[in-house]
Structure 1
Amino acid sequence: MAIIECVPNISEGRDKARIDAIGSVVNQTKGAKLVSIESDADHNRSVITFAGDEIGVYDAALAIFRKATGLIDLNKHQGEHPRMGAVDVCPFIPVKDVTMEECVKLAKRLGRRVGEELGVPVYLYEAAATRKERKNLADIRKGQFEKLRELIGTDESRVPDFGPNKIHPTAGASAIGARFFLIAFNVNLATHDVDVAKSIAQTIREKDGGMPGVKALGFMLEHEGVAQVSMNLVDYRKTSPAQAYTRIEELAAAKGVKIKESEIVGVVPQESMTVCARQRKIEVSNDLDVVNREVAESLKVKGYTPKMVLENHLS
């Protein structure tokens, strides 16, 4: 059976009732299984991960768009993480017996439906992008909700792929696409100095000449009192969590700062944990749970559980 993963990011990370109301629609959808909901109050953002067959993930994704569009008002949203929509981004990822091309078709189908039914402008990104300059999510989201509100309808470069050529008054705009496994991996530094995190983020991110496939920003997590290097690793075969961690550790040490802990947001594929094990000189045995725990300990992963590995939800 074909398995597709879908990972909508919604612009709500503080109101648990609202988050649960949006996430609960997944398990009400035939053919889709909720894997995890990861919320961050500082970012004011939640990452919802689910998997299933083509029909199931499409129906669940549409249900999330419907629910989030009715519950989230971007005019009242504040958080550290850049955002432009109630459902900020919604990627489809091929997992088993399905091609990237099929996920691209699914993204386009959902984009058209969201644009027509909900009146939310949709931009296709990554493998589904219709323009080279829209492949990178950060380029699409530049200026965020507030700036896009001014530009959509007046700037030809901001005409959406689907939906009206104007921002939705409360739900903003959304990016829908298809991509390889993206790993959301954060490293919290034992310092209150956010400039340290920002400097490290600039050094390691690919667009500034850093590590391949790394997107990074530096934030201050006020509720924890630490600075964070927040990363999206778009291809762990190019830069794995272990490699990113090692480089951050080196750069932080040069500034007299240690790593407090790291975070895996959502889930990761087993192969990425195996890659990290080899890079950290951990023996890869048949007992993958033991291997994964050693990797997590080596990288100081906060609150690691086997449920952070995608395959453990699908067996």
Structure 2
Amino acid sequence: MVKIVECIPNISEGRRLEVVEEILDEVRQVAGVTLLDYSSNADHNRTVISMIGEPEKVLEAAWRLIVKAAEKIDLDQHQGEHPRMGATDVVPFVPVRGMTMDECVELAKRLGERVGRELSIPVYLYEKAATRPERRNLADVRRGQYEGLKESVKTPERTPDFGPSVLGKAGAIAVGARPPLVAFNVNLGTTNLEIGKAIAKGIRGSSGGFVNVKALGIDLSEQGMIQISMNMVDTQGTPLYRAMEFIKTEAAHFGVPVIGSEIVGLVPLDAMLDAATYYLKLHDFSSEQILEKRVFGF
């Protein structure tokens, strides 16, 4: 069986689309790697990229992407609503077929070591690749963002796993291994950021909400709304519809409507089927009833 791994780099550029394309071209030039999806958000000033292929080829594509992003993105000039600490902010590896999580951890370590050694960019290993318990959670790794990390990187507790304890304009990178997650955002019909922060605090696991949810309140008031930006790290443990229903209930408490939602990047079919089954109140529905699955066998 051919081993397949997915890699989902997030780069800190979502406005200069010509720069995004230059960075994506580095992935496209690696034979055997498929660029599955990419999504740029101007407000977040961030692009989420998904690529897939055999481990060694994906590793090379990730390296080339990081090199180009470091060349093209200056964190001293970067502004956006999404937290970030690097030009390439995060690079997670996800097992897809024939891959173990341990093998993904090894890929993360190899990439991190090369980035630190050849590019002199500080690298923090996170999630399943974390070398310390306090570095498993990406939010903890990224605490203070680029501006705060300029000083804290010099302290013993923030010493990177690879690379120097000095930040250049490319910042630092979190490289890790994790199961699949879904980036799910819900938009509220209000410009009151405090409402968004309160709802995000209520839903995220670190503050007593759903253990499988990471959430932030994002200020999109120029568009007339506030966004609850979530990473759903286990959609079987916490389905998308459960997060949506919680947010709807909390928003109603504050007297504001839910005006839309979005999924950034790719999503497992089962996660969408669970939502459809819930909202359509289907009984005894099976994925075998999906026409395309029966015809094409996916």
TM-score range relative to shorter protein: over 0.9
CA–CA separation in structure 2 for the residues paired with 1:137 and 1:197: 20
After TM superposition, the score normalised by the length of structure 1 is: 0.88
Q: Aligned residue for 1:116?
A: 117
Q: 1:152 and 1:289, CA in 2 relative to 1: closer, same or farther beyond 3 A?
A: farther
Per-residue deviation, residues 193-236 of structure 1 (Å, max 9, x unmatched) = 22221111111111111111111111121452211111111111
| Aligned partner of residue 24 in structure 1, secondary structure | helix
CA–CA separation in structure 2 for the residues paired with 1:178 and 1:147: 25
1:90 aligned partner, one-letter code: V
Q: Aligned residue for 1:44?
A: 45
| Aligned partner of residue 25 in structure 1, secondary structure | helix
Per-residue deviation, residues 137-162 of structure 1 (Å, max 9, x unmatched) = 11111011111111222x10111111
CA–CA separation in structure 2 for the residues paired with 1:19 and 1:222: 25
**8 Å CA contact 2:127, 2:176 repeated in 1:** yes
CA–CA separation in structure 2 for the residues paired with 1:228 and 1:284: 33
Q: Aligned residue for 1:258?
A: 257
- What are the within-5 Å matches in structure 2 for residues 184-195 of structure 1? 184-195=183-194
1:227 aligned partner, one-letter code: I
2:59 aligned partner, one-letter code: Y
| Aligned partner of residue 164 in structure 1, secondary structure | coil
Q: Aligned residue for 1:134?
A: 135
- What are the within-5 Å matches in structure 2 for residues 22-33 of structure 1? 22-33=23-34
Q: 1:290 and 1:185, CA in 2 relative to 1: closer, same or farther beyond 3 A?
A: farther
**8 Å CA contact 1:277, 1:284 repeated in 2:** no
CA–CA separation in structure 1 for the residues paired with 2:202 and 2:291: 33
| Aligned partner of residue 76 in structure 2, secondary structure | helix
Q: Aligned residue for 1:101?
A: 102
Residue 114 of structure 1: CA displacement? 0.7
> What RMSD over aligned residues (CA atoms) do the two structures have, in Å?
1.7
1:276 is the counterpart of 2:278: no
Ranges in structure 1 where 5+ consecutive residues have no aligned partner: 292-311
Per-residue deviation, residues 73-92 of structure 1 (Å, max 9, x unmatched) = 00001111111000000000
Per-residue deviation, residues 121-173 of structure 1 (Å, max 9, x unmatched) = 100000000110110111111011111111222x1011111111221x11000
1:30 aligned partner, one-letter code: A
| Aligned partner of residue 186 in structure 2, secondary structure | strand
CA–CA separation in structure 2 for the residues paired with 1:289 and 1:208: 41
CA–CA separation in structure 2 for the residues paired with 1:284 and 1:257: 35
CA–CA separation in structure 1 for the residues paired with 2:4 and 2:222: 37
Q: Aligned residue for 1:240?
A: 239
Ranges in structure 2 where 5+ consecutive residues have no aligned partner: none
2:161 aligned partner, one-letter code: D
**8 Å CA contact 1:42, 1:222 repeated in 2:** no
Q: 1:285 and 1:99, CA in 2 relative to 1: closer, same or farther beyond 3 A?
A: closer
Calculate percent identity across the aligned residue pairs. Answer: 50
Count of paired positions: 291
